[in-house]
Amino acid sequence: MFHQIWAALLYLYGILLNSIYQCPEYSQLTTQGVDGKEFPEPHLGRWYFIAGAAPTKEELATFDPVDNIVFNMAADSAPKQLQLRATIRTKNGLCVPRRWIYHLTEGSTDLRTEGRPDMKTKLFSSSCPGGIMLKETGQGYQRFLLYNRLPHPPENCVEEFRSLTSCLDSKAFLLTPRNQEACELSSN
């Protein structure tokens, strides 16, 4: 009898803890089309990379030498494609330009990176003003990335991202220093 009461109390305690410490929900953005109906126009344009989170440090290692990154996402001239241009400012002051093409996936919210068939990117909204979150998965890695329209968003945005991603089993966290001026984003 004692064991049944104890089990019931532990069960109720578990339900209570689960209701108090639930991970916040995040709503997924659709990524099909760029006509402003299915892919919201406000998500095109300039973005600053703020932070990353992943299950292990190795999955974020590519960002270790980074001070800041500025991106521009635009509709491509080809249908169902997005152009992503970036300029990376390394901690030693160098500016490194990058360019990617995302292919929009019919009937899915996945973005596929040209030349990287193993890589899948999903866009998620953020309750932080001017914020967006990406989840990248590929061969042997998974990471969440936080972007904002401002190079220095409010601290609570970063804390919210960190809290959410820790609920999603991301133990490693990286905050870009953003101590140096962002590099000029080339137009070509």
Cα dist from 43 to 74, 123, 142, 152, whole Å: 9, 10, 22, 18
pLDDT tens digits for range 37-68: 455 466 789 999 999 999 999 999 999 999 99
Assign 25 to helix, strand or coil. coil
Q: Read off the pLDDT of residues 8-27 as tens digits, 9 standing for 90 and up.
A: 555 545 544 444 455 655 55
| Tokens representing residue 187 in the block | 């137009």
Compute the distance between CA of residue 160 and CA of residue 166 in angstroms, rounded to an integer: 10
Rounded Cα distance between 113 and 123, Å, is 13
Residues of the chain with pLDDT under 50: 12, 15-20, 29-37, 40
What's this model's pTM, rounded to 2 decimal places? 0.80
Q: Give the type of residue at 97.
A: P
d(CA 107, CA 63): 32
